[in-house]
Amino acid sequence: MYFAAGGMIKRIVNYGSLGDVVVELSGHSLRTGLSLARMLSSKMKSLPGVGDVRIMPQDFHYPEYDVQVDRIKSALLGMNIRDISSTVLWSFVGNENNPSIYTDPATGNEYNMVVQLGQAYQKSLEDLENVVLTNDAQKTTLLREVARFHRSSGPNEIDRKSMNRVITIMANPVGRPLGEISSEIRGLISRTPVPPGFHIFLSGQVAQQKKAFQSMTVAAFLAVLLVYMVLATQFRSFRDPFAILFSLPMCLPGILWMLYLSGTRFSTIAFMGIIMTVGISASNGVLLVDYINRLRVEKGLSLREAIRQGSRTRLRPVLMTSLATILGLIPMALGLDVGSSNSAPLARTVIGGLGLATPFTLFLVPAVYEALNKKRSAVSPAFPQS
């Protein structure tokens, strides 16, 4: 039995803001887990760009009194271990799970009341020995009559996850991308011999980022699928949307190039920029393909002539849409606006993607459109005329 310190340090260090890198060691033996955590943390400190390495809980030698209850003697007195431990706990910290309610007669406000020993009776081992125990027959006895006491030390708190004890190693990246550091730590974990019954997990911001990327990947796939469905409905064709969507993968080299040149880490905000780029690129393709279809239906132009005239006519609207978007995002990409630094990856992603996707929209989309429609003699108008 021990009384925890309350974990104030951990609440400040961990709960206030999760560490970017969190390594969890799960197992039963705290002594083995602490030895493994110290070995792993020392290796993490040697990695370049890894700082603020610390082990939680921080204190594994917190002074405590170990209370050994004589089960036979306590049973003869009509008491069990559960009743004794509850009485001792409530005597020093109160029963916070089942407090008494006090109603102020003047205001009607209700207050939780927790009854415990006064501070004058919580100062020494003698106070602990003199805790009064009561059995079901309302007979009392002192704790020292059914238990033995000796000083020891232990962790100031024991964390559990999935019913296993957990020791946490926390760290933060310093001057290096989080992805690179997490990859090196994964390799370090794979090379570390793990005792039987122990497991090592990499969590924290790394795990959250991985989960977010998985969700965003599904969102990006659904975005492309919904764009195709809308375009197929608009053009009344399953082939024309392919000409528009064919230019979307071309924005990826521009995005990667921009992120690399600007030194921007690929994050969930950057992933949102990819989805935004897909939408803008698709709208530019719609402007072009829809007008080509109209020229073929309304003016009876040949396929090649409709593509030439439509591309010349839609060149300015497509360029204006892309340039207006790029110019508008430049202040955000440079971090000039107040609070824009968090959104800078999104702006840089869109600028890089549109910068490369726009030329492909103007040249690749007409070429793919012509290849898909060579054997097509007539095209239904996107917007039927009344």
**CATH number for the domain harbouring residue 127:** 3.30.2090.10
Asked whether the beta carbons of 295 and 377 are under 8 A apart, the reply is: no
At 353 the pLDDT is 92
In the chain, the amino acid numbered 211 is: K
| 260 φψ region: left (φ > 0), alpha (ψ -120 to 50), beta (else) | alpha
DSSP 3-state of 61: coil
384 CB burial (10 A radius; 0-12, 13-18, 19+): exposed
Q: How many domains does the chain fold into?
A: 3
Does residue 1 form part of some domain?
no
Residues 349 and 359 in one domain: yes
Does residue 382 form part of some domain?
no
Asked whether the beta carbons of 36 and 198 are under 8 A apart, the reply is: yes
Does residue 123 form part of some domain?
yes
Rg of the chain's alpha carbons, rounded to an integer? Answer: 34
Residues 280 and 300 in one domain: yes
Asked whether the beta carbons of 39 and 103 are under 8 A apart, the reply is: no
Residues 346 and 234 in one domain: yes
Asked whether the beta carbons of 367 and 242 are under 8 A apart, the reply is: no
Residues 98 and 134 in one domain: yes
The H or E element that residue 154 is part of is strand 147-154
**Residue pLDDT tens, the chain, 386 long:** 333 344 444 444 444 445 678 888 888 887 888 888 888 988 888 888 888 888 876 556 677 788 888 888 888 888 888 888 888 888 887 777 777 788 888 888 888 887 888 888 888 888 888 888 888 888 888 888 888 888 877 776 777 777 778 888 888 888 777 777 888 888 888 888 888 888 888 877 777 777 777 887 888 788 888 888 888 888 888 888 888 888 888 888 999 999 888 888 777 788 888 888 888 888 888 888 889 888 988 888 888 898 899 999 999 999 998 999 999 888 888 877 666 667 888 999 999 999 998 988 888 888 888 888 876 544 444 444 43
In the chain, the amino acid numbered 39 is: M
For residues 234 and 236, give the distance between their C-alpha atoms in angstroms, rounded to a whole number.
6
| Residue 141: partners with Cβ closer than 8 Å, 6 or more residues away | 77, 79, 132, 133, 135
Asked whether the beta carbons of 5 and 154 are under 8 A apart, the reply is: no
The whole domain housing 104 covers 62-153
Q: How far is CA 233 from CA 221, 337, 358, in A?
A: 19, 40, 24
pTM of the model: 0.55
Peptide bond into 99 cis (omega under 30): no
DSSP 3-state of 23: strand
Does residue 379 form part of some domain?
no
Residues 39 and 87 in one domain: no
At 4 the pLDDT is 36
| 115 φψ region: left (φ > 0), alpha (ψ -120 to 50), beta (else) | beta
Residues 215 and 351 in one domain: yes
Residues 312 and 212 in one domain: yes
Asked whether the beta carbons of 151 and 2 are under 8 A apart, the reply is: no
Asked whether the beta carbons of 309 and 295 are under 8 A apart, the reply is: yes
At 337 the pLDDT is 64
**CATH number for the domain harbouring residue 219:** 1.20.1640.10
For residues 185 and 42, give the distance between their C-alpha atoms in angstroms, rounded to a whole number.
12
- Three-state SS letters, 69-108: ECHHHHHHCCCCHHHHHHHHHHHHHCCCCCCEEEECCCCC
For residues 70 and 89, give the distance between their C-alpha atoms in angstroms, rounded to a whole number.
18
DSSP 3-state of 134: strand
**CATH number for the domain harbouring residue 29:** 3.30.70.1440
For residues 270 and 264, give the distance between their C-alpha atoms in angstroms, rounded to a whole number.
9
Residues 136 and 277 in one domain: no
At 354 the pLDDT is 92
Residues 125 and 185 in one domain: no
Residues 241 and 313 in one domain: yes
Residues 232 and 366 in one domain: yes
Residues 164 and 56 in one domain: yes
Does residue 113 form part of some domain?
yes
At 267 the pLDDT is 76
